[in-house]
Structure 1
Amino acid sequence: MSVGCALGDEGLARVTLCRPEAGNAIDLATARGLLDAARACAAGKARAVLLTAQGRSFCVGGDLREFSALSGRALERHLLAVTGALHEALRTFAAIDAPMVAAVQGPVAGAGTGLAAAADVTLAADDASFTAAYTGIGYSPDAGVSWFLPRLIGPKRALDLLLTNRRVPAAEAERIGLVSRVVAADRLPVEAVRTAESLLRGPTAAFGATRRLVRSGLTGELGPHLDREAGALATAAASEEGREGVAAFLAKRAPDFTGVPLPPAPAP
């Protein structure tokens, strides 16, 4: 099994890359495993997703050994199958309301950078480093890297990383906005679980609306975006989550959002 997925009773979905012997490289089985995990999160009513990886490295990118065994049209078809599954997984994770936390360690390259960037909260171990790697082997980006990087760190920095393939250590990745924060390597698992568990107790539908507003706000015009904000806020206020949140605030108690049923997830 190249990807594990377990949904706990409280709604925490733990998605784990399980190819440590290959640096968790993305082969076809892993891409399909991620898609299965994303669909399980959507169907299983996850309230938060925790993406982790076994071994020294979070993900070193695509499985070049698998790719090098093919050539010509067969290679093109294979890469379309890999990226098709991987990209559908990213779309599915983005569409559900549950926020995603990624815990990233060791050398990260290519599609691993895309997975780290796709998470809403990305915790990097202090031993982590990031390399785009694509153009170094004559490839162009996948896994949303050319979409996420310009939005996270700006187009100039994104092109620097994509064209030069220079290594970005964890401290710099935090400084430029590629990751949310850096933690000591031995604290990464604990901090990742703590962060994910704090999110699963939050207002999941409101989290989903917030995620979509932030994404659409990066490309949309102000006027239409303000209309979307107003509509989303009105919907949230009238929802069971909104009513519980306000009631808890007025009663000076902690809100119990986990008792509110989750709405159906929007289509990817």
Structure 2
Amino acid sequence: MLVTDADGVRTLTLNRPDAYNSLTVELKERLLAALRDAAADDTVRAVVLTGSGRAFCAGQDLKEHVGMLRSGDTAPLRTVAEHYNPIVTAIVDMPKPVIAAVNGSAAGAGAAFAYASDLRVAGASASFAMAFAGVGLGPDSGASWTLQRLVGHGRAVELMLLARKVDSTEALRLGLVGEVVPDDELASRAHTVAATLAAGPTRAYAKVKSTVAAAAGSSLAEALAAEDAAQTELGATADHREAVEAFVEKRRPRFTGR
């Protein structure tokens, strides 16, 4: 796991390139810790999640998985509760924007991590696959919740049942990603997007994330109440005051996240 900081952006790079960044217990624990550290660090104002080498993340490391099953170890049966659920929760609940920079294959839990992110920028060679059914499993890592919100119920079920690969062109058409760029421009483009957000009103971004997530499972009245509470809180922030003053003075606002 590589962790780098620049321009208020923390980049988390899954770093098992020879294994397509497949997820061992160690890597899952390191990723979860890194996400929680980023959430708690006030100097971090946006997060980029990516992979090293030719893949974003191939999902569960099946070699480790089958080895544990053969030995009678019950750890594989606990990994959803102990690792995948907390990782996706940390991404979705991150009080700052999370951008997935998808380089190469994103499969299984790896694809689900990208779906859970706020924005997805893909390299031209990127691909996505809901590979769970192919190994006799159902979806995990929040894919049943996130994928249908991106592409609709029917298409989400299709992608999960057929477990077929979706290339970057189709991913853009379906709405799985917001942007596709040449592979050699992916890292810089994702950082540019993240740095732009890092310079913005990050408390407002956190409220955007939380109110939209809450509204997905609430009534209109509940959504309106949540929006009211958020606006009341944000209206008292220094960033809101700065934005209003900058508008009146015809200058660019200087946001501080307060």
Q: Residue 192 of structure 1 is aligned with which of 181, 190, 193?
A: 190
Q: 1:75 and 1:133, CA in 2 relative to 1: closer, same or farther beyond 3 A?
A: farther
Q: Residue 5 of structure 1 is aligned with which of 3, 6, 14?
A: 3
After superposition, what is the alpha-carbon deviation per residue over 1:93-141, rounded to whole angstroms, capped at 9, x for unaligned?
Answer: 3223210011001122101111111111100111111111100110111
Secondary structure of residue in 2 paired with 1:140: coil
Secondary structure of residue in 2 paired with 1:58: strand
1:117 aligns with 2:119: no
Percent identical: 37
Bigger mean CA deviation after superposition, 205-214 or 230-239: 230-239
* Alignment map for 1:155-174 (pairs within 5 Å): 155-174=153-172
| TM-score (normalised: structure 2) | 0.94
Give the corresponding residue for 2:219: 221
1:26 aligns with 2:40: no
* Alignment map for 1:126-165 (pairs within 5 Å): 126-165=124-163
Deviation at 1:214, TM superposition (A): 1.3
Secondary structure of residue in 2 paired with 1:52: strand
* Alignment map for 1:253-268 (pairs within 5 Å): 253-258=251-256, 260-261=257-258
Deviation at 1:7, TM superposition (A): 3.8
Look up the equivalent residue of 2:45 and give its one-letter code.
R
Give the corresponding residue for 1:266: none
Q: 1:22 and 1:176, CA in 2 relative to 1: closer, same or farther beyond 3 A?
A: same
Contact 2:124 2:180 in 1 (8 A): yes
Deviation at 1:82, TM superposition (A): 5.8
Contact 1:32 1:82 in 2 (8 A): no
Give the corresponding residue for 2:11: 14
Give the corresponding residue for 1:240: 238
Look up the equivalent residue of 1:59 and give its one-letter code.
C
Q: 1:135 and 1:76, CA in 2 relative to 1: closer, same or farther beyond 3 A?
A: farther
Q: Residue 43 of structure 1 is aligned with which of 31, 40, 43?
A: 40
Secondary structure of residue in 1 paired with 2:57: coil
CA distance in 1, matches of 2:252, 2:74: 53
The root-mean-square deviation of aligned C-alpha atoms, in Å, is: 1.6
1:202 aligns with 2:163: no
